[in-house]
Amino acid sequence: MPVISLPKRRYAPRLYRLTSESVTEGHPDKVADQIADAVLDEIIRGDPDAHVDIEVLIMRGTVVVTGQVTTTTYVDIQKVVRGVLRDIGFDNSKVGLDSETCGVLVSIDEQSPDIARGVNRKGAGDQGLVGGYATNETSELMPLPIILAHKLVKCLADVRHNKTLPYLRPDGKSQVTVEYEDGKPKRVSAVVIAAQHDEHVLMKQLRRDITKQVIRRVIPKRMFDRHTKIIINGTGRFTVGGTLADSGVVGRKIVVDSYGGAGSTGGGCYSGKDATKVDRSAGYMARYIAKNIVAARLADRCSVQIAYAIGISKPVSFTVDTYATGRISDEKIAAAAKRIFDMTPRGMIEHLKLLRPIYRKTATYGHFGRNDPEFTWERIDMVDELKRAAIR
C-alpha cells in the first residue's frame, strides 16, 4: 500500500484581545471610595483595633456617609469628607460639588454584636471569597491593559492639577484594548478616553491635547501601529459629568480596583473596610500569594481563590490555577503556598501590616501593581521559601 504524505499543518498563533478600563479620581464612584477609605484611615490613626465598615453615597450636592463602626476614637467625618473633595478639585457646585458648601449627612451605628463575636475570636468578619492574580507580562506582574488604563487616568488628573490642560474637570474614564499573541502582549488595538471639560474648549483642541499630553506619554510607542484606534469623547462633548450626571457609591468599580477583567475577583469590594473584613485582607493576601508564585517562576500566570466562613479563622477553601503555565502541578504549588502563607485574619493582618492608615491611597488607580511602600502585598519576599516548599 502506498504511503500517503499529508501536507504539514502550518502553526497558527493564538490571537485574542483583552480590554480593561479605569476611572479618574473625580468619577463619582471613586470619590465615594476615597471618602470611605479616608474616614477609615482617620479612625485607624486613633484606634488601630477599630472595626469599620463605611458606605458612601454621593449625588449632586450631597454626600451621605453611613455604616457600622466600633471604636474608642472620635473623627470629624464632615471635615474628612470636605478635605477629600478639596484635594480632588471639587470647588464649584455648578460642575458637581463644592467642597465648602455641599451637604454632608452622617448616619453611623455600632457593629452588630453577632459579627463582633466572630471577629473577637480572631475569626473572619464575614463569609466571602476573594481572588488574586499575577502574570509575568509586565514588570508589575499585572495585566498590561489595566496598568495602561490606570496610567492614562492618572495622567489625566496630573495635567488637570498642574494646569497643563486647565480646562479639564475631575470626571473621566479610560479604556485600553491589547491584542495578545500566544499569551504575550503584541499591540494596543484601541484607546478610549472620556474626559470632562469646560464648555469653552473646542473638541478639536481637546482631542489634540489629550492625544499628545496623555495618550502618547503613556502608551509605549512600540505598541502603536497605523491600525490603532484612538477615541476621545466619542459623543463630542462631556461638560456635564461627575455628580451632576451620575451617583457615586462605594465598591462599584471592583474590576477597576483589581485586575481589569483578567483572572478573578471576589464577592465584595475593598474600600471602607478594616482588615478584619476578609474582602480586604484576604483580597490583598491572594494577590501577594499569586505574585510570589509568578515571581518565583513557578508559573507564568496564576490565579488564587480563598474562601472564608464568618467567625472561622482558617479558610474553607484555597485553590491555585496557573492556566497550564506551571512548572509543576497546580496541586503542588497550592500545597507549598498553604505551608508558608498564614491565611488566618490575624496572620494576614500581622504579616501585611494592615493596621495602619494606608487605605485612601488604594482608592484610586488600583489596589494592585504599585510599588509604594504602603502596599505590602506587592512585595516578592517569599520567593525563596516558595521554591523550597515546592520541591519538598
**SS3 assignment, position 14:** coil
Question: What per-residue confidence (pLDDT) applies to 26?
Answer: 95
Instruction: Specify if 340 maps to a domain.
Output: yes
Instruction: Specify if 2 maps to a domain.
Output: no
Question: What per-residue confidence (pLDDT) applies to 119?
Answer: 59
Q: What range does the domain containing 108 cover?
A: 28-120
Instruction: Specify if 383 maps to a domain.
Output: yes
Distance CA 387, CA 327 (A): 11
Instruction: Specify if 261 maps to a domain.
Output: yes
Whether 224 and 85 map to the same domain: the answer is no
Whether 19 and 159 map to the same domain: the answer is yes
Cell of 60: 449632586
CATH number of the domain bearing residue 77? 3.30.300.10
Q: What's the pLDDT tens digit per position in 168-213?
A: 999 999 999 999 999 899 999 999 999 999 999 999 999 999 999 9
Domain boundary (213, 243, 273) is at 243
Whether 177 and 114 map to the same domain: the answer is no
Whether 132 and 159 map to the same domain: the answer is no
Domain boundary (199, 218, 243) is at 243
- Within 8 A by CB and 6+ apart from 63, the residues are 35, 56, 57, 81, 85, 97, 102, 103, 104, 105
Instruction: Specify if 299 maps to a domain.
Output: yes
**SS3 assignment, position 71:** coil
Question: What is the pLDDT tens value at each position of the chain, 392 positions in all?
Answer: 555 555 555 656 789 999 999 999 999 999 999 999 999 999 999 999 999 999 999 998 899 999 999 999 999 999 999 999 999 999 888 777 899 999 999 999 987 665 655 555 567 877 889 999 999 999 999 999 999 999 999 999 999 999 999 999 999 999 999 999 998 999 999 999 999 999 999 999 999 999 999 999 999 999 999 999 999 999 888 888 878 878 999 999 999 999 999 998 888 999 999 999 999 999 999 999 999 999 999 999 999 999 999 888 999 999 999 999 999 999 999 999 999 999 999 999 999 999 999 999 999 999 999 999 999 999 999 999 999 999 87
Distance CA 146, CA 18 (A): 9
Q: What's the pLDDT tens digit per position in 195-206?
A: 999 999 999 999
Whether 353 and 303 map to the same domain: the answer is yes
Residue type, position 114, single letter: D
Whether 291 and 189 map to the same domain: the answer is no
Decide if 229 contacts 207 (C-beta within 8 A): no
Whether 232 and 280 map to the same domain: the answer is no
Instruction: Specify if 169 maps to a domain.
Output: yes
Domain boundary (243, 274, 295) is at 243
Instruction: Specify if 373 maps to a domain.
Output: yes
The domain tally of the chain equals 3
What residues does 185 pair with on adjacent strands? 180
**SS3 assignment, position 109:** strand
Distance CA 138, CA 143 (A): 7
Distance CA 341, CA 382 (A): 9
Whether 77 and 47 map to the same domain: the answer is yes
